[in-house]
Chain A
Amino acid sequence: MPVFKTRPSGLKIIIVGAGKVGATLTGQLSLEGHDVTIVDKDPSKVNDITSMYDVMGCIGNGASYHTLSEAGVEEADILIAVTESDELNLLCCTIARQFSGCSAISRLRNPDYSKESKYLREKLGLSMIINPDLEAARVMSRVLYMPTALEVRSFAHGQALIVKIKIPEGNILDEMTIADLGAKITNNILICGVERDGDVVIPKGSFELKSGDIITVVATSKEQSNFLKSIGVATNQIKNVIIVGGGRSAYYLSDILIKKGMSVKIIEQDRKRCEKLNELLPKAVIINGDGTNTELLQDEGIENADAFIPLTGIDEQNAMLALHAKKISQAKLITKINRTGFIDIINSLDLGSVFYPMFITSDMILAYARAKTAAPGSNIETVYHLFDSRAESITFNVTDDSKVTDIPLKDLKIKKNTLISYIGHNGEGIIPTGSDVISKGDTVMVVTMNSGFDDIGDILE
């Protein structure tokens, strides 16, 4: 019924599974103006979500055709299966694909399947398979390559990095303005966001940095390490890592790190899981013991570890372990937090790099949804939430001429709190200045505090 379409740009999205990721996605997608229907077999979860967000609820088994058709699968554009069970997710997507032309996105966590994810995706006709633990492991491993950083994200096919660092006491950046930084240190980086006392700003030239600020720096991979060296915060490479908890993300992370030549020690309580890990990761040292026991940690050499990563399933335990390690060692800390309700408190604790696996999953799906809404000619490559979703970095592939192309940036009327941070032109990355232009074929990265950009043209007033 075209008559009833209020906002034609909104996609019809069905989300199966009202867990943490399901709820976060529902909230974000509905705020971006999509028609979201949430499906779960637990009525109370569905009721909680529908009373919080402007979405429709549907109670039932998401893998049954009956429930899916009630949720409107025939007209849906995207189906996202994020239930607890991998098998259910796959079944859900397969059934949806049989009855409609929607794109199906499935979450798949079991390592048994993850090796086959490409095959599964092609054979089952899915658009995307997301393995949150693997993605989280990738993000964590990037921070370990660049241990000074609190967070490292790559974009433009890995050519450029967004790096988040905290300015240490007495650093040369202390009391330096952004303009001075360009004149005195380097012109090849861009500070696209600063968090101070809990507030986030996109800084102008006159903005003065202070020690204790958390800054987000955009540059090509090479320039990033040069920059860190020149401000004197680069540290040694990480050689040995201790991981507490031998879950799925620990496995994926160890796998990546071992391939990069680091030595990994995993402390896991469950004997059987230890044996399994030993089988999967022959090069890792697997310790069967209670990782929250401080004496055991001491015996295993926490004081000399380059990096310490608590990956237990319990947020409180992870936080306590990180605080403990901070006190007795110089190790780089990475803390995994699942629940998002206490972001403020977690931030005030100084736990090193903090990761929310849930945001990693939802970022990927949001990027997909935006790319699907986008006008032809500007494809979204990635969407990252910076500073706990208060700012977004969006990478567009500009494939067509539009209002923003071939005009010097200083002549474009760009929205407030929006910054063009990077232009990839013919395989070469530049940090743009006012005289640069965006041309057809470029990769453009924009940092903004607005939400819901799905087209490069959205940056204009």
Chain B
Amino acid sequence: MNLSVVRFILFQVMRIEGILMLLPCAVSLIYGDSEGLWYFIVAAFLITAGFIGCRFRPKNQNINVKEGYASTGLSWIVMSLFGCLPLYLSHEIPSFTDAVFETVSGFTTTGASILSEVESLSHTALFWRSFTHWIGGMGVLVFLLALIPMSGGSNINLMKAESPGPSVGKLVPKIRSTAMILYIIYLAMTVIETIFLLFGGLSVFDSLCLAFGTAGTGGFAVRNDSFMSYSLYIRWVVGVFMLLFGINFNAYYYIIMKQFKKAVSLEEVKTFLAIVAVSIAVIFAKILPLYENAITALTDAFFQAASVVSTTGYGSADFDAWPTTAKFVMCFLMFMGACAGSTGGGVKVSRLMILWKSFVREVQSYVHPKIVKGVKMDGKIIDNDVLRSTHVFLAAYAVVFILSMFIVSFDNLDMTTTFTSVLATFNNIGPGLSRVGATCNYGFLSALSKWTLIFDMLAGRLELFPMLLLFSPSLYKR
């Protein structure tokens, strides 16, 4: 492996993280939080180390698949370890494990918290938690690609490793322009949401934090009860935006380029919206008896479905108390997740579609053993490589899932908690059911379980292989 280029990328990531950490520093100045000092210290350290490290450019800047995957995996680990320092050092989260858990949960846009109540945190800490969602949503390496011109054309391997979905394509020929377009769309949509929230009467601070959480499909809230005390207007705005951020960003690019036909005809987006609509209908029908008011019931059904399917995890209702069918639909949505090329997590709609279609093909091949039938998406035959990697992904997903559940089972919790704690972290959602439900938190788990879930969150966000590859001994051989 070309270690020097990996080192170079890690220093670049440190530098960018340091620069981004100046934002919470500014917040601490506005609110006069004394904890802000630690953010300044860590940011100064990251920026200095980053600048020094970046001075030594590697001769060979070629990033092959393995360098791309390894540096992505390591970048996220490094980013999380440094990102948790201000929280840990300022004693707002006194345990190191908890601080790492909270930060990884932020960067991976999971939104699972170990804190039982958040309102006592300083504004700076709240802001940093939400801001990590925004950084992690589109990905820090994509940000790097948008900002820093790197020589060589192999940078696509960095983008491939960090961007979710079975196959990653560019929007325009240059990767730098592609990354810029993605971030411009991301930023613009965040700003629009913030404005909508300001109209709903929220403070600037709350609007920003909630918008960050929605944009990255994260889920850290600024109130103890998440969304239960917000108005219907706020719930609908955030609900709609959660769905929007769960849609493949290619659709927005097509809209900007005035290619509306292409945008509307994306098969994955159509399927995603159809599944969400049906799920909302089922949940609404099931929970209606629990509510006095049909509009509140519909709002909750919509908000919660949008929240878990986009893998955000904001809670407007305690869905743990819902009927089993509704809970099951929620679990299915958690598992499915959002579209490829969005900021959401989960298995991804397009992967499920590919699996479903190859399943149908397999069944047909029993009826007509000589049938020739390709698996198609958007009218194009899917390459066999993509098909194979999708199947392998699902197999690896199942293996990691089962092993994680086995380790968490040592805490001797009930089955639902064990299952949904892994489900909700692995798919980057946040709240699960039972003891890790919408009104609870992850603080009571043992350290072993927490580290397992930390790994799951990272593996889930990076779609397994960048993390799994780090355990492969052959990676480190020359």
Interface residues of B in 147-203 (CB under 8 A from A): 152-157, 169-170, 172-177, 180-181, 184
For residue B367, which residues in chain A have a CB less than 8 angstroms away from its CB? none
Contacts A35-B172, A37-B173: A51 and B181 contacting too (C-beta < 8 A)? no
A35 B154 Cβ-Cβ under 8 A: no
In whole angstroms, what is the CA distance A55 to B177 when docked? 11
B156 A50 Cβ-Cβ under 8 A: yes
In whole angstroms, what is the CA distance A50 to B65 when docked? 13
Partner of A36, one of B65, B173, B184: B173
Listed stretches A1-9, A180-188, A339-347; interface member: A1-9
Partner of B154, one of A3, A5, A37, A51: A51
B153 A4 Cβ-Cβ under 8 A: no
Which chain B residue has the least Cβ–Cβ distance from A3?
B184
For residue A43, which residues in chain B have a CB less than 8 angstroms away from its CB? 383
B255 to chain A, nearest CB (A): 12
- Over the window 131-156 of chain B, the binary record of Cβ atoms lying under 8 Å from chain A Cβ atoms (1 yes, 0 no) is 00000000000000000000011111
A54 B180 Cβ-Cβ under 8 A: no
Q: Tell me if A238 counts as interface (CB < 8 A to partner B).
A: no
Contacts A4-B180, A4-B181, A30-B153: A54 and B174 contacting too (C-beta < 8 A)? yes
In whole angstroms, what is the CA distance A31 to B175 when docked? 13
For residue B154, which residues in chain A have a CB less than 8 angstroms away from its CB? 51-52
A56 B170 Cβ-Cβ under 8 A: yes
Contacts A4-B180, A52-B153: A35 and B257 contacting too (C-beta < 8 A)? no
Q: Tell me if A207 counts as interface (CB < 8 A to partner B).
A: no
- Over the window 1-39 of chain A, the binary record of Cβ atoms lying under 8 Å from chain B Cβ atoms (1 yes, 0 no) is 101111000101000000000000001001100011100
Q: Tell me if B256 counts as interface (CB < 8 A to partner A).
A: yes
In whole angstroms, what is the CA distance A4 to B178 when docked? 9
For residue A51, which residues in chain B have a CB less than 8 angstroms away from its CB? 65, 154, 156-157
Which chain B residue has the least Cβ–Cβ distance from A53?
B153
For residue A36, which residues in chain B have a CB less than 8 angstroms away from its CB? 173
B174 A35 Cβ-Cβ under 8 A: yes
B173 A54 Cβ-Cβ under 8 A: yes
In whole angstroms, what is the CA distance A52 to B156 when docked? 9
Number of chain A residues close to chain B: CB under 8 A = 21
Interface residues of A in 47-93 (CB under 8 A from B): 50-56
Which chain A residue has the least Cβ–Cβ distance from B170?
A56
B172 A56 Cβ-Cβ under 8 A: yes
Q: Label chain A's interface by main secondary structure.
A: mixed
In whole angstroms, what is the CA distance A31 to B61 when docked? 14
For residue A5, which residues in chain B have a CB less than 8 angstroms away from its CB? 177
Best-surrounded residue of B170, B173, B181 (most CB of chain A within 10 A): B173
A28 to chain B, nearest CB (A): 12
For residue A52, which residues in chain B have a CB less than 8 angstroms away from its CB? 153-154
In whole angstroms, what is the CA distance A451 to B343 when docked? 39
For residue A3, which residues in chain B have a CB less than 8 angstroms away from its CB? 184
B5 to chain A, nearest CB (A): 16
Contacts A43-B383, A56-B170: A6 and B176 contacting too (C-beta < 8 A)? yes
For residue B153, which residues in chain A have a CB less than 8 angstroms away from its CB? 27, 30-31, 52-55
B156 A6 Cβ-Cβ under 8 A: no
Contacts A1-B256, A50-B156: A56 and B173 contacting too (C-beta < 8 A)? yes
In whole angstroms, what is the CA distance A5 to B173 when docked? 12
For residue B170, which residues in chain A have a CB less than 8 angstroms away from its CB? 50, 56
Contacts A3-B184, A6-B180, A35-B173: A54 and B155 contacting too (C-beta < 8 A)? yes
Contacts A35-B172, A53-B153: A6 and B177 contacting too (C-beta < 8 A)? yes
In whole angstroms, what is the CA distance A4 to B180 when docked? 8
Which chain B residue has the least Cβ–Cβ distance from A51?
B156
Contacts A30-B153, A51-B157, A54-B156: A6 and B174 contacting too (C-beta < 8 A)? yes
In whole angstroms, what is the CA distance A4 to B146 when docked? 11
In whole angstroms, what is the CA distance A12 to B180 when docked? 18
Interface residues of B in 330-370 (CB under 8 A from A): none
For residue B156, which residues in chain A have a CB less than 8 angstroms away from its CB? 50-51, 54
In whole angstroms, what is the CA distance A27 to B151 when docked? 12
B48 to chain A, nearest CB (A): 29
In whole angstroms, what is the CA distance A52 to B175 when docked? 12
Contacts A51-B157, A52-B153, A53-B153: A4 and B172 contacting too (C-beta < 8 A)? yes
B173 A55 Cβ-Cβ under 8 A: yes
For residue B383, which residues in chain A have a CB less than 8 angstroms away from its CB? 43
In whole angstroms, what is the CA distance A269 to B152 when docked? 44
Contacts A50-B156, A52-B154: A4 and B173 contacting too (C-beta < 8 A)? no
A1 B173 Cβ-Cβ under 8 A: no
For residue B174, which residues in chain A have a CB less than 8 angstroms away from its CB? 6, 10, 35, 54
For residue B157, which residues in chain A have a CB less than 8 angstroms away from its CB? 51
- Over the window 256-281 of chain B, the binary record of Cβ atoms lying under 8 Å from chain A Cβ atoms (1 yes, 0 no) is 11000000000000000000000000
In whole angstroms, what is the CA distance A90 to B173 when docked? 24
A194 to chain B, nearest CB (A): 25
In whole angstroms, what is the CA distance A425 to B456 when docked? 72
In whole angstroms, what is the CA distance A4 to B181 when docked? 7
- Over the window 270-285 of chain A, the binary record of Cβ atoms lying under 8 Å from chain B Cβ atoms (1 yes, 0 no) is 0000000000000000
Which chain A residue has the least Cβ–Cβ distance from B150?
A54
In whole angstroms, what is the CA distance A53 to B153 when docked? 4
B123 to chain A, nearest CB (A): 33
Best-surrounded residue of A36, A37, A43, A54 (most CB of chain B within 10 A): A54
A54 B184 Cβ-Cβ under 8 A: no
Interface residues of B in 23-41 (CB under 8 A from A): none
For residue A10, which residues in chain B have a CB less than 8 angstroms away from its CB? 174
For residue A54, which residues in chain B have a CB less than 8 angstroms away from its CB? 152-153, 155-156, 173-176
In whole angstroms, what is the CA distance A35 to B170 when docked? 12
Best-surrounded residue of B156, B157, B175 (most CB of chain A within 10 A): B156
B212 to chain A, nearest CB (A): 23
For residue A1, which residues in chain B have a CB less than 8 angstroms away from its CB? 256-257
For residue B65, which residues in chain A have a CB less than 8 angstroms away from its CB? 51
In whole angstroms, what is the CA distance A51 to B155 when docked? 8
- Over the window 278-296 of chain B, the binary record of Cβ atoms lying under 8 Å from chain A Cβ atoms (1 yes, 0 no) is 0000000000000000000
A2 to chain B, nearest CB (A): 12
Which chain B residue has the least Cβ–Cβ distance from A13?
B173
B147 to chain A, nearest CB (A): 11
In whole angstroms, what is the CA distance A1 to B181 when docked? 11
For residue A53, which residues in chain B have a CB less than 8 angstroms away from its CB? 153
Which chain A residue has the least Cβ–Cβ distance from B256?
A1
B254 to chain A, nearest CB (A): 12
In whole angstroms, what is the CA distance A10 to B174 when docked? 10
For residue A12, which residues in chain B have a CB less than 8 angstroms away from its CB? 173
In whole angstroms, what is the CA distance A13 to B242 when docked? 38
In whole angstroms, what is the CA distance A54 to B155 when docked? 7
For residue B184, which residues in chain A have a CB less than 8 angstroms away from its CB? 3-4
For residue B180, which residues in chain A have a CB less than 8 angstroms away from its CB? 4, 6
Which chain A residue has the least Cβ–Cβ distance from B64?
A51
For residue B181, which residues in chain A have a CB less than 8 angstroms away from its CB? 4
A-B complex: 5 closest residue pairs judged by Cβ atoms = A54-B153, A53-B153, A56-B173, A35-B173, A6-B177
Given contacts A1-B256, A6-B174, 17 further A-B contacts (CB under 8 A): A1-B257, A3-B184, A6-B176, A12-B173, A30-B153, A35-B177, A36-B173, A51-B154, A51-B156, A51-B157, A52-B153, A52-B154, A53-B153, A54-B156, A54-B175, A54-B176, A56-B173
Q: List 11 A-B contacts (CB under 8 A).
A: A1-B257, A12-B173, A35-B177, A37-B173, A51-B154, A53-B153, A54-B153, A54-B176, A55-B153, A55-B173, A56-B170
